[in-house]
Amino acid sequence: MIGIPYLEGKYAATMDLYSQQSKEFNRNYKFYEHLREGRLTTTRCRSCGQRMYPPRVMCPYCTSDDLEWVDLPTRGKVLVFVEQYQGVPQGFEAPHILAIIDLQGELRFTTRIVNCKAGELKEGDEVRMVVFPLPPSLVETRNGIEERERVFYAFEPVR
């Protein structure tokens, strides 16, 4: 880091935009393994049957910790969107497009829309999930510093 000589070559997780996805730091690491397979998944409670998003280790409806992985649709429809041209946060490019999408009636959330030029997107457009690599996190182990690969998802217009 420029200006902080004692952090030269160091990885500061507190300055990392993305969270830790690997098994040693995240019990729900399978969410990211599934993303690599092109699957958007979450947990469902085996006790009460409720599905929750994002995935958990405890059911917030009945407090059971007997949860299983289930798939969500990876295609949806744009309900409303905005395009940001200025003040886009570090790590993102303008236009930064955010949309609330509906995943075939199963879930609605806010997602980034990628592979889309400014002015192109319309309400009602169909979108599909895309998965892309993130910078790895760097974990100190007995063998030295090891890279932990990471991924995340966004949605793109179906053309």
Residue nearer to other proteins on the CB measure, 86 or 141: 86
Q: Which of residues 117-156 bind other proteins (CB under 8 A)?
A: 134, 152, 154
Residue nearer to other proteins on the CB measure, 58 or 107: 107
Point out which span in 4-12, 63-71, 96-104, 138-146 binds other proteins (CB under 8 A): 96-104
Name which position in 69, 75, 98, 102 contacts other proteins (CB under 8 A): 98
* Helix (H) or strand (E) segment spanning residue 32: helix 30-36
CA distances (Å), 12 to each of 4, 6, 18, 19, 24, in order?
A: 12, 12, 11, 12, 17
Q: Classify strands 67-72 and 40-45 as parallel, antiparallel or unpaired.
A: antiparallel
DSSP-derived 3-state class of residue 114: coil
Closest approach of Cβ 14 to other proteins, in Å? 8
Q: Which of residues 51-90 bind other proteins (CB under 8 A)?
A: 53-54, 80-90
100 and 107 Cβ atoms separated by less than 8 Å: no
Q: What phi-psi label fits residue 47: left (phi over 0), alpha (psi between -120 and 50 degrees) or beta?
A: alpha
The site for other proteins (CB under 8 A) is made up of: 14-15, 17-19, 53-54, 80-92, 96, 98, 100, 107-112, 134, 152, 154
